[in-house]
Amino acid sequence: MLPIFKEYIQFLKNSGVDIPIQEGYYWLDRQIIKGYDVEGNLHKIYRIKIDDNLDITYTKYKNKKLQLENWQNTVQRKLKKLSQLEENSDKLIQKSFKKYSQHEPIVLYSGGKDSIVINYLVQKNKECRIIFNNTSLDCADTYKYVKQSNNVEILNPKEGFYQWVKRYGNIPGRINRNCCGIFKEGETLKYLDKNKKYLLFMGMRNEESNTRSSYQDEEYMSRWDNRDWRGILPIRKWTEEDVWLYILWKGLDFNIKYRKGYSRVGCAIACPFYAKSTWVLDKYWYPTMYKRWHDILEKDFIENAKWTRLNCTLKEYHTCWNGGLLRPEPTEKVIQELADHKGIDFEVAKKYFNRNCKICGKKVNKNDEIAMNLKLLGRGVNSYFCKKHLMEYLNINKEQWKMYVEDFKKSGCELF
C-alpha cells in the first residue's frame, strides 16, 4: 500500500476526479483507496478506474461515515511490530558483518523505498559503499534524489536503453524483459571486481512476487557465476505497508515520485510490468518521456507490421505493447487498417493473419515471411511456409532470401 500524498490528490483533481480526500489519512492499494478507522479496521473507500484511453473515473464503496486514523496514529498502533522488524533486520545485518568480515559490504541502491530502508538500516550499523545502477531509463526525479547523497557511486552504462532499443529493435515485454539483465544486474557484474569478496545488501521482499516469495535471508544469485559474493536480504519479510510505516516513523527522506502516485519508481515509462494505472501517471507527470517512448512504439509497430503478430490496431498497441497477442482473431478494423497501410485489397490483407507453416506448423506472422509467400507463390495461396521451409521449397539460401526481400521492397511492392 502506498500513502496518498497531496501531489496525487492534485493529479486526480486535474484529471477530472475530485474525491474529498486529504493527505495523511488514505492509502492506495491496487487502485483502491483505503483507510484505517480509529479502531484499526481497514476499509475500502473508493475504486479508481482507468480505461484504454487513459481516462479516469471512480466509484465509491458503500460505507457508513468513517472516522479515519491518521498515518502517525497507525505508526503508533503498529509500533511494536515495526520495532520487532527493525530488531530482526539489525540482527541479520550484524550477523552478516561478523560472518563475512573478509567481504567488502555494499548496499545496492535504486532510489526506491525498499533500498532507502535497507540503506538506513545498514549504515546505522556500519558505514559502507552505496552503488546505484543508472538504467538510463529513470526519470529526473529519481536522478535528482539519488544525487542528493554525495557518497552514492553511480554506474553509467556505455550504451543507454534507447540506443539499445534502436540498435536491436528490441521492445521489452513481460516474457522477454532482458533490459533488467543488461541495465541492472549486468552493469553491477561489469563494475565490481569478480575476484573480490563482496557482501551485498539488497531490498528484495518475499511479498513482491512468486519468484521472490522463496528467497531466504541469505541468497546467492545465479548470475554471479561462482564469484565469492554474498547477498543479504534484511527486509525480505516486511510488507509494503511495513516499509512505508517505517519510513514515516523514522522520518526518512524519499523519492518525490512516490508523492505523485507511483508505487514503484524504477525504469520510468518503458517497464513492461507497468500497466494503465502507471501509464496515466506517466502521461501527466512526464509527458516528454511518455511521448518519446510511444513514438518508438509507433515506429516499431509500423515497421514490423505488428497488426499480424498481435491482431490489434496501431491505437490498441499503445496499451497492449507489453503483453503480446491482444486477441486470438483479428477484427475487420485490424485487417482494414493493414490493408490501408499497405494499399492492398481487404481480401489479400486477410491472408496475413493467423497462418501456420504447412510443414512444421510454426506460426507464420512476420511481414517478410508472409509477403514472400504471397509474392512467390501467388496472392491466391491459402497454405503457407515458414521462412526455413519456404527457402527449402524455393531452393534458395539466406543471402538469396535477403536479396529477394530487398529487391521487392526497392521496387515498391506493396506486399512488403
In tens, the pLDDT along 39-48 reads: 999 999 999 9
Residue 40, classified by CB atoms within 10 Å of its CB into exposed (0-12), middle (13-18) or buried (19+), is exposed
Q: Which residues of 314-334 are buried (b: 16+ CB within 10 A; e: fewer)?
A: bebbbbbbbeeebeeebeeeb
Contact by Cβ (8 Å): 122, 128: yes
Q: Are 387 and 400 in contact (CB under 8 A)?
A: no
* Residue 363 and residue 356 in contact, taking contact as beta carbons nearer than 8 Å: yes
- This prediction's pTM: 0.83
The rounded distance, in Å, linking the Cα atoms of 26 and 263 is 14
Q: C-alpha distances in angstroms, 398 versus 368, 383, 389?
A: 13, 22, 12
Q: How far apart are CA 185 and CA 179, in angstroms?
A: 10
Q: Is 34 within 8 Å of 1 (Cβ atoms)?
A: yes
Residue 232, by phi and psi: left (phi above 0), alpha (psi -120 to 50) or beta?
beta
Structural domains of the chain, ranges and CATH numbers in brackets? 78-250 (3.40.50.620), 295-410 (no CATH)
Do 319 and 276 touch, CB atoms closer than 8 A? yes
For the stretch 207-214, contacts whose Cβ atoms lie closer than 8 Å and that sit 24 or more positions apart, written own/partner, are 207/238, 207/239, 207/240, 212/236
pLDDT at 175: 59
Q: Which three cell numbers stand for residue 388?
A: 526455413
The per-residue pLDDT for 337 is 96
Please report the pLDDT score of residue 409 as a whole number: 82
Tens digits of pLDDT across the chain (416 residues): 999 999 999 999 999 999 999 999 999 999 999 999 999 999 999 999 999 899 999 999 988 889 999 999 999 999 999 999 999 999 999 999 999 999 999 999 999 999 999 999 999 999 999 999 888 888 999 999 998 877 899 988 888 888 888 887 778 876 566 666 676 777 888 889 999 999 999 998 998 877 788 889 898 888 888 899 999 999 999 999 999 999 999 999 999 999 999 999 988 888 888 888 999 999 999 999 999 999 999 999 998 888 988 899 999 999 888 877 778 889 999 999 999 999 999 999 998 888 889 999 898 888 888 888 888 888 777 788 999 999 998 888 998 898 888 888 887 777 88
Q: Are 94 and 124 in contact (CB under 8 A)?
A: no
pLDDT of amino acid 383: 85
Terminal Cα-to-Cα distance of the chain (whole angstroms): 49
Please identify which residue in the block is written with the cell numbers 543471402. Answer: 399
